[in-house]
């Protein structure tokens, strides 16, 4: 199984950082920090990313998981300007069952322009070409943008995990959609 370090699309470039650098960590942290309110509304991890050093540790973890073939993370950049837009990751890779999960985020100003739809299509084509059979996407049931990405990409809504995660900020339980695409869907 070999995932490419770069995947080129019409509007986006997916790049895996072969050598994590503090400069890249600072760039990612700035994007996360600028979109913290939006990201934190839907994802639990932004609250733990408090400084560039936290993001540098995440980059190092991405590298280790890539080498162990447990996860394949990509930074999403605008193809023309090379501006950082967000990230997408194939994670929880299960080689025995030929499955895994895609997680993604975009900075606030990049949302609504089709970048994630193209990024998802590019990554899933690589995943299926590697012989995988099933891709899972989970998203907050209230996150209309993420729901639309999965739906437009042809993912099947398998169900809702009701009240699966506690949100301390909102003081309520969060429900998550479970989406899947299998090789037979292609």
- Write the pLDDT tens digit of every residue in 107-148: 989 998 999 999 999 999 999 999 999 999 999 999 999 999
- Average pLDDT on 95-104 reads 97
Q: Which two tokens stand for residue 62?
A: 């991405």
For the chain, list the strands marked E by DSSP. Answer: 6-8, 12-15, 72-78, 84-94, 99-106, 134-140, 156-167, 172-182
Q: Which of 116, 136, 147 is nearest to 179 (CA)?
A: 136
With beta carbons less than 8 A apart as the criterion, state whether 52 and 29 touch.
yes
Distance CA 50, CA 41 (A): 16
Condensed to tens digits (0 to 9), the pLDDT of residues 43-64 reads 888 888 889 999 999 999 999 9
- Average pLDDT on 3-8 reads 96
Distance CA 20, CA 75 (A): 12
Q: In which band, very low, low, confident or very high, does the pLDDT at 72 lie, cut at 50, 70 and 90? A: very high
Q: In which band, very low, low, confident or very high, does the pLDDT at 42 lie, cut at 50, 70 and 90? A: confident
- Average pLDDT on 86-110 reads 95
Question: What length is written for the chain?
Answer: 186
Q: Which CATH number fits domain 6-136: 3.90.1110.10, 3.40.630.30, 1.10.3720.10, 1.20.1050.10?
A: 3.40.630.30
| Domain definitions of the chain by residue range | 6-136
The predicted structure's pLDDT at residue 22: 95
């Amino acid at each position: 199984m070999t995932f490419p370090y770069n995947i080129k699309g019409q509007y986006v470039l997916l790049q895996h950082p072969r050598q994590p650098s503090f400069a890249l960590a600072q760039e990612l942290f700035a994007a996360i920090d600028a979109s913290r309110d939006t990201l934190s509304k839907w994802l639990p991890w932004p609250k733990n990313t408090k400084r560039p050093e936290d993001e540098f540790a995440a980059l190092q973890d991405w590298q280790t998981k890539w080498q162990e073939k447990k996860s394949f993370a990509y930074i999403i950049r605008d193809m023309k300007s090379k501006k950082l837009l967000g990230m997408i990751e194939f994670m929880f890779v299960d080689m025995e069952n030929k499955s895994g999960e895609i997680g993604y985020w975009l900075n606030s100003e990049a949302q609504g322009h089709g970048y994630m739809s193209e990024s998802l299509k590019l990554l899933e084509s690589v995943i299926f070409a590697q012989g995988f059979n099933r891709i899972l996407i989970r998203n907050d049931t209230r996150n209309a943008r993420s729901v639309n990405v999965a739906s437009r990409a042809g993912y099947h809504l398998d169900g809702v995990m009701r009240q699966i995660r506690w949100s301390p900020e909102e003081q309520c339980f969060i429900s998550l959609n479970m989406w899947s695409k299998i090789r037979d869907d292609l």
